[in-house]
Amino acid sequence: MILAEGSRRSVTSRPRPTTRRPRPTTRRPRPPTRRTRPTTRRPHITTRRTRPTTRRPRVTTRRTRPTTRRPRVTTRRTRPTTRRPRITTRRTRPTTRRPTTRTTRRPRPTPRSGGCQLRFDAIELVHDGRIYVFRGPHIYQMTAQGPQNRRLIRRVFPGAPNKPGAVVYDRYRRKLYIFKGRRLWRFTGYRKDAGYPKPLPASFRGIRAAFQWTDGGLYLFKGRNYTRWAESLSRHSSGYPRVASRFWRGMPSNIEAGFRAYDGYIYVFKYQRYWRYNSLGRLSPGFPKSTRPVWLNCNRPSRIRTGGNELSYLTQEIRQKPTED
């Protein structure tokens, strides 16, 4: 029975179709086993903790130093400001000096004065009544106390040369002439005239002294001779040069300076001696004399005779009429 049933089933079972169903060509997409990442990324969550922008101050174990430093405690002993006086074996001098035996010693001249060894390169009475002494690059003003107020020549006469050979003032033309070597300077007051210095003619070079005589002429001295000079002359006038000692008796050769003073006398200087001549060219008695007591204020006697006419040229206020010697 079983077999019959089985055979029956086999006879009566449907036959399987030979034609299989076609598989669809379009396959279904397989679900991806891997999960796709979204295009928009999520913020990366890190396990590291972010530091805050405002940092906390570091807590250092090192101790900060105070701004005000403590004074160092030195083991060295400080020296006292007041030093102890040194004990010297040398004997100290007494502060009160004993008076010297020469109590009447005359004080030395000040550095701005001429000094007792001063010699004159030139001397002249200028337009404003002052007497100036020229020596080297300096100029002194003559006073009753001797040469004072030493200054440079160029400070008084701007543009003037140093160590002039001769200086003479023309009282009629009111011009001051300075000779040196081969050139001539001319001043009106204390100002140098335009166009000067000028060259001198060969006949009037190397002048050593000059002064204006009572006749108004300007006389220049060189060696033992003298000549009359004018700015317009290019050579000696007729009859010149002449020997100076033939007219001014006793005048030495190579005089260094000369000028006509307030009292009308002509004073001539050489080394530290001077000669005085009156308007007739006669030498005053007792000359030559030393320049030290009268002109340099050295070893001057305590009393000077008022009628001696010795100091009449030193101050403009004292004007005595010259006596005929």
Residue 321 pLDDT level (bands cut at 50, 70, 90): very low
- Report the C-alpha gap between 137 and 145 in whole angstroms: 22
The neighbouring-strand residues paired with 266 are: 260, 277
Task: Tell me if 138 sits within 8 A of 153, measured CB to CB.
Answer: yes
Question: In CATH terms, is domain 122-308 a member of 2.110.10.10?
Answer: yes
Helix (H, G, I), strand (E, B) or coil at 227: strand
Which residues fall within 8 angstroms of residue 216, CB to CB, at 6 or more apart? 172
Bridge pairing between strands 131-135 and 138-143: antiparallel
Residue 180 pLDDT level (bands cut at 50, 70, 90): very high
Residue 57 tokens, joined: 């101050």
Q: What pLDDT was estimated at residue 1?
A: 42
Q: For 256-310, how does the pLDDT look when each residue is reduced to its tens digit (9 = 90+)?
A: 999 999 888 999 999 889 999 998 889 999 999 998 888 888 876 544 444 444 4
Q: What pLDDT was estimated at residue 106?
A: 46
Residue 323 tokens, joined: 């006596």
- Report the C-alpha gap between 211 and 170 in whole angstroms: 9
Q: What pLDDT was estimated at residue 297?
A: 84
Please report, for residues 55, 65, 139, 297, 298, the alpha-carbon distance to residue 108 in angstroms, rounded to integers and kept in the order given: 87, 70, 20, 10, 9
Domain spans, the chain = 122-308
| Mean pLDDT across the chain | 76
Q: For 131-151, how does the pLDDT look when each residue is reduced to its tens digit (9 = 90+)?
A: 999 999 999 998 888 898 999
Q: For 188-238, how does the pLDDT look when each residue is reduced to its tens digit (9 = 90+)?
A: 999 999 999 999 999 899 999 999 998 889 999 999 999 999 888 888 988
